[in-house]
Structure 1
Amino acid sequence: MAELLYRIGRFSTRRHWTVIGAWLAVLVLTGVTYASFAGALSSSISLPDTPTTRVSGQLERDFEGTGGGNGTIVVESTDGSALTDDQQQDALDLFDRIAAVDGVDEVTDPFATQQQVDDGAARVADGREQLNKGLAKLTEAQGQIDGGRTALEEQRRQARANGTLADVRAQLDDAEQQLDDGQAEVDRQRAKVDEELPQLEQGETLTQLSSGYRTVSEDGSAAVANVVFAVAINEVSVETKTAIEDLLADADIDGVALYPSQDIAQTVPSILGPGEVAGVVIAAIVLFLMLGTVIGASLPLVTALLGVGVASLASLSFSGLVEFVSVTPVLGVMLGLAVGIDYSLFIINRHRRQLKQGIALSESIGLANGTSGNAVVFAGVTVIVALLALNVTGVPFLGLMGTVGAVAVLVAILMAITLTPAVLSLVGPRILKRRERSEIATGTTYDDHAITARDEPMSNARAWTVLGLGIVALLVVAAPATQMRLGLPDGSTQPPDSAAYQAYEVQAEKFGDGSNGPLLVVADLPGPVAEDEVTAEQATIGAQLGRAWNVDAVVPIGASKDRSALAFQVVPDGSPTDESTAELVQNLRSSTLTTTSGGEATLGVAGNASAGIDISDQLSSVLPVYLVLVVGLSMLILVLVFRSILVPLTATLGFVLSLLAAFGGITAIFQLGFLSDLFGVHAPGPVLSFLPIIATGILFGLAMDYQLFLVSGMREAHAHGAPARVAVQHGLRAGRSVVTAAAIIMISVFAGFIFSHDATIKPIGFGLAFGVLLDAFVVRMLLIPAAMHLLGESAWWLPKWLDRILPDVDVEGARLERSHAAPGAGDRAGG
């Protein structure tokens, strides 16, 4: 591989305009394909074949008008007063226009809905009052009949005592018949009451259960209209959502504010905002300080930006065929910028060192490409393996994110080993400072392989101290990760000035937290029920749902076409991301309810809150499998590269510590709210559900990058004859500056995304920046050197049988350096 890369470097040096022109042509080609075939990005995250999707499919298949997705529009008076009749009518006219948007089935009238709810409650209350009055009359009539019978018996007794019974018998019999007729009428009325009473009680039960559900606030200042789409919410097109937002923005109803919920107002995050630009600026400053020239600092930035353009446009060209989650291209930009700058920097830094050793320009470019370029390829392959392994999780959107990230890294590698040499050829010796060029012209050279007094090994006591304190510190930082909860961002996490946040806040304040994430519950009955028994079954099942902990309201939706299942809207007390809501979902799914016939009904749950819980659960379950796969494959790569067992093992253990610490930092800030104001987290909540698995893949790949560049220097020194512990110190000293610069650059690029307004991008940016910070500066530069010092010569132990079968990939390019040891003539760096 080293020899091949050497030849590629020499070719790029000779044909620099050809290489540059080819990459520019690729950029134009990807731009054309993007313009021709790109589709819209989706802001919804979903998974196939989850409990939520199965219930949603059942609703769509078996229930009339319940299969489409739902969003809400919040209407609020700007002065807090009750909405006037004119304002209500203007809002209804707007809803009619929204209902005409392609993809929208219906927009409910919240005012009519609330009136129906209120009228229904009033009818039930009136029915109870009438029934109570009727019962009172029946009781009074029964008392009169009972009194009449008592009086009649007294008359009989007196007539019998007076001997006049025969004379009044007919009169008494007539009176008794009247009492019997009255009793029969009372019995008929009582039987009628007994027949109506269950229906009334069922109505009272359903009214009481749904009393917490409102579409107009109690003070009349706000209303919530439900937007019903023709398809599931994750399938609603961006064009449909944009058309709704445009209508709301243009409504201009005097004294009324209109807010679409997050399901409608979700927007695609910007790829490069002020924070991201600031990150690139910091990277440029670091490059200038590292390389000392404007040209040198510009070169990695230019190649990285060109690579990001090619990778992003190429990937997004397929967005018309495959559904892209909006965060996917942003992740590609993150990785493309970070690794693109770093990989180019590694080759440039090696080239500068060789020039200062007196090696000819073109030969130095070839050697830099064959040595550092070789390390870049293997480091990049490790990252690519980690990203592509996301496809084995069985989560489509996650696999696509990994693939797009892998494409960005692949392009960065290709740019580094082809475009960087071509541009270095054009720049020539100006890649060095003027002073350095003057020193070379006078014959002053440097030997990086020379062992000096600065390479004296650390003491064993210091190594043990560094190792112990480092491990303890990382474990302390990792402690909050034990409380990590996973979820998807809701409206509360959106920027405070966004419509989605305003809609969430108004609903939470006026209608309760649970109104932002109602659940759809389907009760599968033991068998179909008669049409006249549906209400009784709804009351029976609904009453049991209402007794569930953390339920604010239960509203019947309807029965399936064959009446074998009932659907309810259940409004929880807590918000969609509350732990109590997750517990409610799990409790409902594990419950069986008793039907009116004594059978058992099983429950299924759907809704946005339920979908977020399902996604989090599934991603949590695949994380261990993914970790084992990635670590296993990368361990094989590292054993091949370092020809050692213990070096890859210590590298992996160090990564696990830094990863757990990164999870601890993420949990502390984004879930527990520690330093949340500093990072712009105004609503701490569950950690983004796919962040742990994404961070695991990316951070493992990047950690192995720094492991490779630092430890390969140690192995190179050891291969040149230095004792193991001396080689550790020499390799650390030789690679520390460039790895430090590379890590700061990567941290800066990732940290720029922390200040994104998007609640999905922000924690990813922080997690990657914090993870790189811990892994590069604590694990790779402190713990690994200490561990390798303590291991000594045994660090490079490899079983003889394995040594025989493993190919020698020569990642340091030692053989290449030996075969190209003599500097070329007539092509000197200072010439």
Structure 2
Amino acid sequence: MATLLYRLGRASFRHRKLVIALWLAVLAAVIAAMSLFGGVGKLNDDFSIPGSESQQALDTMGREFPGTAGTSAQLVFTAPAGQKVTDPRYAAVIDQTLAGAAKAPQVVKVTAPAKAGTVSADRRVAVAQVSYSVVKDDLDSTSLDKLDATAAPARAAGLDVDLGGAALGGGGAQPGAQDLIGVGVAVIVLAITFGSLLAAGMPLLTALVGVVAGVAGVLSLTGVAAISSTALTLALMIGLAVGIDYALFILTRHRSQLAQGDEPEHAAGLATGTAGGAVVFAGLTVIIAMAGLSVVGIPFLTVMGLAAALAVFAAVAVALTLLPAILGFAGRRLAPKPGSRADLREQAVVAGPKNGKAVNAGEKWVRLATAKPWLTVLAVLAALGALAWPAKSLTLALPDNGSAPAHTSQRAAYDTIDKAFGPGFNGPLIVLADTSGAANPQQAAGTIAKDLGALPAVAAVAPPSLNDASNYAIVQVVPKSAPDSKATQDLVTTIRDKEAAIAKETGASIRVTGKTAVSIDVSAQLSSALVPFGAVVVGLSLLLLLVVFRSIVVPVKAALGFLLSIAATFGAAVTVFQNGHSQSLVGADGATPIASFLPVVVMAVLFGLAMDYEVFLVSRIHETYHHTRSPLNAIHTGARHSARVVTAAALIMISVFAAFVHSESMILKQIAFALALGVLIDAFIVRMTLVPAVLALTRHAAWWLPGWLAKRLPDLDIEGDRLTHNPQPAGPATAPAEAHR
């Protein structure tokens, strides 16, 4: 593979004008496709599981109760302290507001508080229900604003009016200014790493090309697939982070070769053949892991994984072709200037330590970690174990309006309803009864409502509503507990378990649905898929690293390190979001469950990134050991060559992910926090501390492989050993003027 990539790098260098023209054509094509077939306006933030009980019931409700097919909103009226919404002057302006709301765009029905039974016991709060003709993603951009404007008379009269409900829910968020923050930090890290603005700009340029290609490709599919704004932003985050990192790895090797006197074309080919091999492996692991989300069987998660995989594929393709082409235009200008800090650093790395002292900070750190490896291993295990401990109480749910930022209208509405009516009123359950088999449908529906109302965990049950054909009835059940609580999950299970008894008593069958039930079903399926998916990811890492490093210890150590990183990341997420500690650091307001799909998404992404750092760090160690057979010296030498670039890559990843932590989307906030912290833990604590200590403990055994297995495994030569020790002919010399363009 190294030889093939070497030739690809040299060909891209030599035919740089053609390569750049082809990439410009690709960008033009995907942007045109996005404009013609997709776009941001067609994003869909519906998180559901087709085929689940709750979704099947929703589909039936859409057919049998047309008024319930669309989304809904709430107008929450609050009277000043000591006064009541039922006072004549307030009642009049509420009626005026509701009359205006009924005429608002796309509204099909407005249910007054008195009819809905949503006036608080102290008469200070009243909630009106507003039903729309379309689902949330089909609402016009101005519909909610115009609904909110109808409350002007009520606000002028002194009432507080908050707009809430499912129409304002959802955790999606589109890219914004936070993207630029991550890019800004990346510029600083790259400038410090290379000591050259020209060199620092190249990874950013190529990464942006990859991001545009990947994101435009994703957006071009919104016309034929349900793609959420969270999927788009995840693709942007990952595409930008890996795009910069992959270019960084190749460019670092290219400059190192130039510093040693290589011709630019040969240096570009060698960098693509060596570091490019690790890029291919790292990118492939991320792509496989993200595409592997499709095995969970949830469409929105499948789309999310494939969107991220497409962005990573674009990043790999750009790094292997466009970057060598751009290197061709830079020529020798990328070589560190003689006597500069970058040049002295490169020469010191090549020369090795003097008087047994470490050359750079990376080597110093690894020498410290390997001085007493047992102590290092125990310290890391204790620290990560303590961080991971809270993960045992991990609770999954889809974030709702209760996790929205405190300054938003939907959060104010949610909190007001919680305080005035109880937590369950923010997440009522809908029981759909099929009464076609009942002798008396009306009586059967009434019996079902009475039986459900007798359950200890139920706060209230609304009178049943039958459709025109009287073959279906809707019963709204209000739990005593919050929508995302364990008690509400148990209530859903209890109601479903009563189906047989209700059918025997009334002749009607029931199904539980509604937004809360859909969230519970999504969380349950994702929870059940977490262990199998984790087994697939860990098994894949074992297999891939076995082939790459031809060792038993290295893959096992890498897989266990990955599990430690994941456990510690989940524990920290539970501590901050679920338990509510140090929330000011992430801009959260109040404790909230972990987003249902965060564990599998974070596992998939961190798996690829963990293998990324594993390959770049351990490949240098393996290469040195292969030629010196000195385990400890190989560890120190590998750190001397690769610790700086791994550090820079990790810092860029962390900055890109961390820039999204203060997003107003709770889903995106949690994913960004977990990825930023996960990279921090995996890169610096696991890969650059634990891994060298374990290799120091196992010494020669770390590179042992049974002979029978060695004969059967392919030799991929990821490190480019054949290239560096059997260099390819440089080919026809490049003209000086051309080489320095």
TM-score (norm 2): 0.90
The letter of the residue matching 1:15 is H
Shift of 1:20: 2.3
Corresponding residue for residue 254 of structure 2: 351
Counterpart pick for 1:372 among 272, 275, 279: 275
3-state secondary structure, aligned to 1:649 = helix
Is the aligned partner of 1:106 residue 2:117? no
Greater C-alpha radius of gyration: 1
| Residues in 2 aligned to 1:588 and 1:627: alpha-carbon distance in whole angstroms | 32
Corresponding residue for residue 396 of structure 1: 299
Tell me: CA distance 1:677–1:341, structure 2 relative to 1, closer, same or farther (3 Å).
same
Question: What are the superposed Cα offsets for residues 617-657 of structure 1, whole Å, 9 maximum, x if unpaired?
Answer: 00011112212222223322221111112211110011001
Tell me: CA distance 1:775–1:438, structure 2 relative to 1, closer, same or farther (3 Å).
closer
Deviates more, 1:606-615 or 1:417-426: 417-426
Is the aligned partner of 1:764 residue 2:671? yes
Q: Would you say the 8 A contact 1:2–1:374 is kept in 2?
A: yes
3-state secondary structure, aligned to 1:755 = coil
3-state secondary structure, aligned to 2:475 = strand
Shift of 1:16: 2.2
Tell me: CA distance 1:566–1:75, structure 2 relative to 1, closer, same or farther (3 Å).
closer
Corresponding residue for residue 350 of structure 2: 448
Question: What are the superposed Cα offsets for residues 584-616 of structure 1, whole Å, 9 maximum, x if unpaired?
Answer: 222222235866995787653111111111100
Deviates more, 1:742-751 or 1:244-253: 244-253
3-state secondary structure, aligned to 2:75 = strand
Question: What are the superposed Cα offsets for residues 459-504 of structure 1, whole Å, 9 maximum, x if unpaired?
Answer: 9771111111111111110000001100011112112222221221
| Residues in 2 aligned to 1:680 and 1:813: alpha-carbon distance in whole angstroms | 46
Query: Gaps (5+ residues) in structure 1?
Result: 115-213
Tell me: CA distance 1:802–1:76, structure 2 relative to 1, closer, same or farther (3 Å).
same
| Residues in 1 aligned to 2:138 and 2:703: alpha-carbon distance in whole angstroms | 56
After superposition, the CA RMSD in angstroms is 3.0
Corresponding residue for residue 144 of structure 2: 244
Alignment of 1:741-760 (within 5 A): 741-760=648-667
3-state secondary structure, aligned to 1:556 = coil
Counterpart pick for 1:311 among 204, 214, 221: 214
Deviates more, 1:284-293 or 1:785-794: 785-794
Q: Would you say the 8 A contact 1:517–1:609 is kept in 2?
A: yes
Counterpart pick for 2:46 among 44, 47, 57: 44
Shift of 1:580: 2.0
The letter of the residue matching 2:14 is R
Alignment of 1:12-31 (within 5 A): 12-31=12-31
Counterpart pick for 1:631 among 531, 538, 552: 538
Tell me: CA distance 1:830–1:69, structure 2 relative to 1, closer, same or farther (3 Å).
closer
Tell me: CA distance 1:257–1:23, structure 2 relative to 1, closer, same or farther (3 Å).
farther
Corresponding residue for residue 462 of structure 1: 372
Alignment of 1:113-262 (within 5 A): 113=115, 214-218=117-121, 220-230=123-133, 233=135, 236-240=136-140, 242-249=142-149, 252-253=152-153, 254-255=156-157, 258-262=161-165
The letter of the residue matching 2:555 is P
| Residues in 2 aligned to 1:524 and 1:245: alpha-carbon distance in whole angstroms | 37
| Residues in 2 aligned to 1:651 and 1:658: alpha-carbon distance in whole angstroms | 10
Tell me: CA distance 1:438–1:479, structure 2 relative to 1, closer, same or farther (3 Å).
closer
Tell me: CA distance 1:638–1:694, structure 2 relative to 1, closer, same or farther (3 Å).
same
Alignment of 1:401-420 (within 5 A): 401-420=304-323
Counterpart pick for 2:324 among 421, 428, 431: 421
Corresponding residue for residue 165 of structure 1: none
Deviates more, 1:65-74 or 1:801-810: 65-74
Query: Gaps (5+ residues) in structure 2?
Result: none
Counterpart pick for 1:518 among 428, 436, 443: 428
Tell me: CA distance 1:614–1:781, structure 2 relative to 1, closer, same or farther (3 Å).
same
Counterpart pick for 1:283 among 170, 186, 192: 186
Q: Would you say the 8 A contact 1:356–1:436 is kept in 2?
A: no
The letter of the residue matching 1:41 is L
Q: Would you say the 8 A contact 2:45–2:172 is kept in 1?
A: no
Tell me: CA distance 1:670–1:454, structure 2 relative to 1, closer, same or farther (3 Å).
same
Q: Would you say the 8 A contact 1:241–1:264 is kept in 2?
A: no
The letter of the residue matching 2:11 is F
Tell me: CA distance 1:773–1:319, structure 2 relative to 1, closer, same or farther (3 Å).
same
Corresponding residue for residue 75 of structure 2: 74
Deviates more, 1:31-40 or 1:597-606: 597-606
3-state secondary structure, aligned to 1:434 = coil
Shift of 1:77: 5.2
3-state secondary structure, aligned to 1:226 = strand
| Residues in 2 aligned to 1:830 and 1:105: alpha-carbon distance in whole angstroms | 68
The letter of the residue matching 2:410 is A
Deviates more, 1:541-550 or 1:726-735: 541-550
Q: Would you say the 8 A contact 2:238–2:312 is kept in 1?
A: yes
Shift of 1:21: 2.7
Counterpart pick for 2:612 among 677, 698, 705: 705
Tell me: CA distance 1:230–1:336, structure 2 relative to 1, closer, same or farther (3 Å).
same
Shift of 1:692: 0.2
Question: What are the superposed Cα offsets for residues 160-208 of structure 1, whole Å, 9 maximum, x if unpaired?
Answer: xxxxxxxxxxxxxxxxxxxxxxxxxxxxxxxxxxxxxxxxxxxxxxxxx
TM-score (norm 1): 0.81
| Residues in 1 aligned to 2:466 and 2:165: alpha-carbon distance in whole angstroms | 29
Corresponding residue for residue 668 of structure 1: 575
The letter of the residue matching 1:331 is L
3-state secondary structure, aligned to 1:754 = coil
Is the aligned partner of 1:810 residue 2:712? no
3-state secondary structure, aligned to 1:228 = strand
Question: What are the superposed Cα offsets for residues 438-467 of structure 1, whole Å, 9 maximum, x if unpaired?
Answer: 998x9x967738687357977977111111
Counterpart pick for 2:245 among 342, 358, 361: 342
| Residues in 2 aligned to 1:5 and 1:405: alpha-carbon distance in whole angstroms | 24
Q: Would you say the 8 A contact 2:71–2:133 is kept in 1?
A: no
| Residues in 2 aligned to 1:564 and 1:258: alpha-carbon distance in whole angstroms | 38
Corresponding residue for residue 130 of structure 1: none
Question: What are the superposed Cα offsets for residues 707-748 of structure 1, whole Å, 9 maximum, x if unpaired?
Answer: 000000011112223423321221122211110111111011
| Residues in 2 aligned to 1:381 and 1:349: alpha-carbon distance in whole angstroms | 21
3-state secondary structure, aligned to 1:753 = coil
| Residues in 2 aligned to 1:34 and 1:268: alpha-carbon distance in whole angstroms | 24
Identity among equivalent pairs (%): 38
3-state secondary structure, aligned to 1:677 = helix
Counterpart pick for 2:99 among 90, 93, 112: 93
Q: Would you say the 8 A contact 2:551–2:702 is kept in 1?
A: yes
3-state secondary structure, aligned to 2:582 = coil
Corresponding residue for residue 293 of structure 1: 196
Q: Would you say the 8 A contact 1:271–1:333 is kept in 2?
A: no
Q: Would you say the 8 A contact 2:429–2:512 is kept in 1?
A: yes
| Residues in 2 aligned to 1:597 and 1:663: alpha-carbon distance in whole angstroms | 45
| Residues in 2 aligned to 1:743 and 1:339: alpha-carbon distance in whole angstroms | 10
Is the aligned partner of 1:696 residue 2:603? yes
Deviates more, 1:557-566 or 1:579-588: 557-566
| Residues in 1 aligned to 2:574 and 2:600: alpha-carbon distance in whole angstroms | 14
Q: Would you say the 8 A contact 2:246–2:315 is kept in 1?
A: yes
Question: What are the superposed Cα offsets for residues 508-541 of structure 1, whole Å, 9 maximum, x if unpaired?
Answer: 233332221111124567951336xx34x55544
| Residues in 1 aligned to 2:110 and 2:494: alpha-carbon distance in whole angstroms | 32
Question: What are the superposed Cα offsets for residues 419-439 of structure 1, whole Å, 9 maximum, x if unpaired?
Answer: 211222222333244345799
| Residues in 1 aligned to 2:347 and 2:490: alpha-carbon distance in whole angstroms | 69
| Residues in 1 aligned to 2:340 and 2:415: alpha-carbon distance in whole angstroms | 63
Question: What are the superposed Cα offsets for residues 653-703 of structure 1, whole Å, 9 maximum, x if unpaired?
Answer: 110011000000000001001111221110211100000000000001100
Corresponding residue for residue 178 of structure 1: none
